[in-house]
Structure formats: C-alpha cells, structure tokens
Amino acid sequence: MAEPARTLPFCKKHPSPRDEERDALLEGLSRTRTLIAQAYSGFNSARDPDLIESYVFEINALQARYSYLLRRVKEMDGAPLRR
C-alpha cells in the first residue's frame, strides 16, 4: 500500500514593514480621492455661502493631505521629487 504524499505547509510571505507602510499610504490615497470627490459633490450642490466656504476649506485640506501622501509614496519608491 502506498504512503500518502506529504504536503509542505503553506509558507506565506510576510510583507516587510516598508511594504505595509506603502500599502497604508496607497490606501490613504484612495480614501482621500474618495473624500475629495464627495467634497466637490457637496460643494456643487451647496447654496448657503457659509456651507460653500466650509467645502472650500475641506477641499483644500484634503488636497494638502493627498499631496503629502503622494509625496511619501514617491519617496518610498525612490522617485525624484519635484517641488
């Protein structure tokens, strides 16, 4: 009678801390893009001047966050930065 074939345990490659950080930055970029789109949608439908002003500040803050996250990803990838 033949002995059943042995299977090797599944070896899962653990991502490095650098890869985990990069993935978190990319996820942040994706979330920020979504928030920017939502803020623009709110801005386009707002009628009250105070609400419009709040959307302007929100959009500017989100764009600053997006720029920061994008710069960090580029730094991690070793791309030359333009300012």
| Residue range 15-46, pLDDT digits in tens | 788 889 999 999 999 999 999 999 999 999 99
Query: Does the pLDDT value for residue 8 go beyond 60?
Result: no
The domain ranges of the chain are 31-77
The pLDDT of residue 78 is 86
Tokens found for residue 19:
């890869």
Q: Yes or no: say if 28 and 68 are a contact pair by the CB < 8 Å rule.
A: no
Q: Read off the DSSP letter of residue 48.
A: S
Is the pLDDT assigned to residue 72 strictly greater than 60? yes
Alpha-carbon span 15 to 17, nearest angstrom:
7
Q: What is the pLDDT of residue 6?
A: 62
Separation CA 46–CA 53 (nearest Å): 10
The pLDDT confidence band at residue 83, using thresholds 50, 70 and 90, is low
Percentage with pLDDT > 70 across the chain:
80
